[in-house]
Amino acid sequence: MNLSTIRVFFDDLNHEYLAVHRRKEDLFWATYMATSGDHDGFARAEKEWKAFVADSGRLSAVRDRIAALKAPSPPISPADEAERAELLAGLEGWRALFEANTVEGDEGARLMDRIVSLEAELFGKRQELVLRHRNDRGQEEEATLGMLLTNEATNPDEAARKSSHDALRGLEEWVLANGFLEVVRARNAFARSQGRRDYFDYKVRKSEAMSPEELFAVLDDFEAATAAANARCLRDLAAAKGPDALKPWNIRFHMSGDVLREMDPYFPFATALERWVTSFRRLGIRYRDATLQLDLLARKGKYQNGFCHGPVPAYLDRGEWVPAVVNFTSEGKPDQVGSGFRALNTLFHEGGHAAHFSNISRNAPCFSQEFAPTSMAYAETQSMFCDSLLEDADWLLRHARDEAGNPMPPELIRKRIERSQPNRAFEERLILVVPYFERALYALSDAELTAPRVLELARETERRVLGLESHRPLLAIPHLLNQESAASFHGYLLADMAVYQTRAWFLREFGFIADNPAVGPLLAEKYWAPGNSLTHDQTLRALTGEGFSARHLAEDCNRSAEEAWAEAEAAMAASRSRIYPTDFPATLGATIRVIDGLEVLADNSASEDAMCDSFAAEVRKRYPRGESS
pLDDT digits (tens, 9 = 90+) for 268-300: 999 999 999 999 999 999 999 999 999 999 999
Q: What's the whole-number mean pLDDT along residues 301-320?
A: 95
Q: Are 359 and 353 in contact (CB under 8 A)?
A: no
Query: pLDDT for 237-267, tens place per residue?
Result: 999 999 999 999 999 999 987 898 999 999 9
Question: What stretch of H or E contains 527?
Answer: none
pLDDT tens string 18-72: 999 999 999 999 999 999 999 999 999 999 999 999 999 999 999 999 999 999 9
pLDDT band at 626 (very low <50, low <70, confident <90, very high): very low
Give the SS3 label for residue 373: coil
Distance CA 279, CA 516 (A): 9
How sure is the predictor about 418, in pLDDT bands with cuts at 50, 70 and 90? Answer: very high
Q: Is the peptide bond before 530 cis (omega within 30 degrees of 0)?
A: no
Assess whether pLDDT exceeds 60 at residue 628: no
Q: Classify strands 590-596 and 290-297 as parallel, antiparallel or unpaired.
A: parallel
- Decide: 400 and 563 in contact? Cβ < 8 Å: no
Query: Which of 385, 356, 379, 383 is closest to 488 using CA atoms?
Result: 379
Q: At residue 585, does pLDDT exceed 60?
A: yes
C-alpha distance across the termini of the chain, in Å: 69
* Closest to 386 in 3D by CA, of 359, 414, 425, 423: 359
The pLDDT of residue 288: 98
φ/ψ (deg, to 5) at 53: -75, -15
Q: Can you give the pLDDT at residue 627?
A: 43
Q: How confident is the model at residue 625 (pLDDT cuts 50, 70, 90)?
A: low
Q: Per-residue DSSP letters for 502-551?
A: HHHHHHHHHS--TT-TTHHHHHIIIIITTGGGS-HHHHHHHHHSS---SH
* pLDDT tens profile 574-584: 999 999 999 99
DSSP string over 81-141: HHHHHHHHHHHHHHHHHHHHHPPPHHHHHHHHHHHHHHHHHHHHHHHH---EEE-TTS-EE
- pLDDT value, residue 624: 85
> In this prediction, what percent of the chain has a pLDDT beyond 90?
95
Residue type at position 290: A
What average pLDDT is seen over the chain? 96
Q: State pTM to two decimals.
A: 0.95
User: What CA–CA distance (Å, rounded) separates 500 from 115?
Assistant: 36
CB of 183 within 8 A of CB of 122? yes
Give me the pLDDT at residue 258, please.
Answer: 81
Q: Which is nearest to 174 in space by CA: 475, 461, 483?
A: 475
Span 509-561, pLDDT tens digits: 999 999 999 999 999 999 999 999 999 999 999 999 999 999 999 999 999 99
